[in-house]
Amino acid sequence: MNEALRQKLADLPVSPGVYLMKDRDGKVVYVGKAVNLRSRVRSYFQPSTSDTRAFVPFLEEILGDIEIILVHTEKEALILENTLIKRHKPRFNVQLRDDKAFICLRLDERHPYPRLEVVRRMKQDGARYFGPYSSATAIRETLRIINRYFQLRTCTDQVLEKRTRPCLLYQIKRCPAPCVYEVPKEEYARSVRETILFLEGKEPELLDQLRGRMKVAAADLRFEDAARIRDQLRAIEHSLERQRTVFSEAIDQDVFGSWREGPDLVIEALFIRTGKLVSAQSFPFTGQEFPTEELLASFVDQYYATGAAVPDEVLLPLPVENAGLTAEVLSERKGRKVRVLVPKRGEKRRLVELAVKNAEQAFVEAKKRNRSNVEILERLESRLELARLPRRIECFDISNFQGTMVVASQVAALDGEPDKSRYRHYRIKTFEGQDDFAAIYEVISRRVARGDLPDLLLIDGGKGQLNAARAAVKDAGLLGQVDLASLAEAKVEGETREGAAWKSAERVFLPGRKDPIVLRQNSAENFVLVRLRDEAHRFAVTFHQKLRRARNFRSVLEEITGVGEKRRRALLRHFGSLKRIRAATAEEIAEVEGFNQALARRVVEFLHRREEDPDRDSELPEGAAQSMDEAAEIGEAIEDRDSAAEAQLAAAKELAAAERNGAAPGATSLPPADDAVRPLSPGEVQPTEKIRD
Ligand code: SF4
């Protein structure tokens, strides 16, 4: 350890704060918090330390510097630690890679005709939230039942205001159509109350109410109504049956368990709502050096910092540092006391053991999956005669719109599985126009300049694209440090006798090799490359669409006097798209930050004039987006807004498919969701759940 660092350790203050350990290149490798910075940080370097973690012995070797940030309280330290972990992504911290994984349902009862929305995170906005669900797939079954039996509208507020006749959902008796008809508010409010009881798992209360209503309907000879309520009862009973009662008290609990073998670890979360085990999720981590207690504590803090629902109790398998502080922060968020416990015996201990058992199972399955992926990659390495096992592959694709707005995508796979933390978009900066080779050269140059090279750079294209990539690597002086290949798409070469397109095989080009290699078309090796190439293509095209939509949005609105950049952004944040702004009334627009009635009317009039002269929309001035960065940012905002709508659309499509297939009430037409949280059947131990990212 150098003298400066030794002095720094000696001068550490005795106060709460956060410390950032940096390696010799200045890269943050670990972020931790401490009530007493001096004793915490020094403990890593005590010769008598009983710390057995693998990281500590070579800590002195890799450590270049320690930075500290002083705070007033432990609570501030906890919040700052989470922020810094997110920002620096240190390799020795556990990280929740994608907090978008936590999907919830939102219900705003302040609206006279509320609807359920799929949202990415909970907010303190006065609405009710239900969840978390780990994926859109996990939410579908719940939405399917609600849409079918609880009759809440599914359309947005703007659509509700604008409709002049009901949509299909009214025709198939899924919505009373408050968009057009006078639906009694009390009747709709009753549906809302029942939906809440269903989502909160308050089964006896809900079933009692429905049975009462069914009897009244039958007594009044309203047999159609009685039959509908009977079907609703059956579907709810069927759905609730699948949730196993695991705790005698009707409280909400999140139970965490962990399983670790060396540096690999799985943390399992069981979600218990009103005493019923409703779902579970596994979080796998690799390359972890720190003790499990420390990882678990950091994980729990990060998990709730993402906006996940706070239960009444958090049960942990091991005592963790600062459990009291975590409980305090969670209680503050929930508005009532939350307990963080490490149960030693009884019912709660059994729940923790169940979580640990699930973590072990998830761990074993993840290991198996990894082994088979490594075998596939070994075959790929041998077939393409690569210099190294392609554990990390990055694939690049170029997209443009009639030679303008050229963008590139970078997608990545780690051990054959998508690694979204390494997905990137590039805006081509060095030239205008359509030149795939120049674009590839620029993107690969920029990528390799960032360092941390993958094992294989895969380019979407043929020999020309590959040569451009090779030239970029060569010019960077990195030839030989990364393998290169390009994958040319299968071409349609003719027609089969049945009239179907007959395609050539996908071809892999390699540097210095004249003829391409053709992998067996249905082989797993081919699948790894094709899937990645297709993903790169999809990623490039969706980014491109976002840019174009953003450009369209900007170029139309920037013609309105008084609507500058700030207001355009406010409009986009509020409505999400030009289409929705067109559907909005002046009163709605006036509610947007920065708008008054007069300006809102001007926007409406302008857009109506546009509608009467639709051709004008296509006359987009070149370079309407002030910068690609701004356009991309707007695009991101659109995507966030649309993702919820997409999830609902997907659910609606499933519903329609189930209808077409004549699925019985309560039956699901969805394929088994092996990659998502699903309700647990009685007695079932939840198998491995892959995290969607
Ligand atoms: S009928 Fe359709 S458009 Fe009308 S309120 Fe219901 S979901 Fe919305």
**Which domains does the chain show, CATH number per domain?**
3-93 (3.40.1440.10), 253-366 (3.30.420.10), 392-537 (3.30.420.340), 545-641 (1.10.150.20)
Q: Is 346 left (phi over 0), alpha (psi -120 to 50) or beta?
A: left
Phi, psi of 415 (to 5 degrees): 50, 40
CA angle 236, 239, 240 (to 5 degrees): 85
Distance (angstroms) between ligand 1 centre and the Cα of 604 equals: 24
Q: What torsion do the CA atoms of 645, 647, 652, 654 make, to the nearest 10 degrees?
A: 160
Q: Which of 47-61, 452-466, 540-554 has the highest mean pLDDT?
A: 452-466
Confidence of residue 114 (pLDDT cuts 50, 70, 90): very high
Distance (angstroms) between ligand 1 centre and the Cα of 192 equals: 15
Residue 170 Cα: closest atom of ligand 1: 1
Using a 6 Å cutoff on CB, does residue 157 contact ligand 1? no
What is the reported pLDDT for 227? 87
Global confidence as pTM: 0.58
CA angle 93, 132, 413 (to 5 degrees): 50
Residue 481 above 80 pLDDT? yes
- Identify the residue whose C-alpha is closest to ligand 1 atom 2: 167
Using a 6 Å cutoff on CB, does residue 177 contact ligand 1? yes
More confident residue, 249 or 691: 249
* Separation CA 256–CA 280 (nearest Å): 10
Burial string for 393-410 (b: 16+ CB within 10 Å, else e) reads bbbbbbbbeeeebbbbbb
Distance (angstroms) between ligand 1 centre and the Cα of 181 equals: 10
Residue 623 above 80 pLDDT? no
Q: Which amino acid does the sequence have at 234?
A: R
What is the reported pLDDT for 511? 94
Rounded to the nearest integer, the mean pLDDT of the chain is 79
**Could you report the per-residue pLDDT of 526-578, keeping only the tens digit for each?**
889 999 999 999 998 888 787 777 776 666 777 788 888 888 888 877 887 77
- Identify the residue whose C-alpha is closest to ligand 1 atom 8: 155
> What's the average model confidence in pLDDT over 453-461?
94
Beta-carbon contacts of 48 under 8 Å, excluding residues fewer than 6 positions away, are none
**Could you report the per-residue pLDDT of 644-678, keeping only the tens digit for each?**
344 444 443 444 444 444 433 333 222 222 333 33
What is the reported pLDDT for 564? 83
C-alpha dist (Å) from residue 411 to 125, 417, 637: 36, 11, 21
* Separation CA 638–CA 626 (nearest Å): 17
More confident residue, 367 or 548: 367
What is the reported pLDDT for 363? 92
More confident residue, 687 or 130: 130
What is the reported pLDDT for 192? 93
**Could you report the per-residue pLDDT of 129-163, keeping only the tens digit for each?**
887 776 666 677 788 888 888 889 998 888 888 88
What is the reported pLDDT for 343? 94
Using a 6 Å cutoff on CB, does residue 178 contact ligand 1? yes
More confident residue, 603 or 668: 603
> What's the average model confidence in pLDDT over 394-413?
86
What is the reported pLDDT for 685? 34
Residue 251 above 50 pLDDT? yes
Using a 6 Å cutoff on CB, does residue 166 contact ligand 1? yes
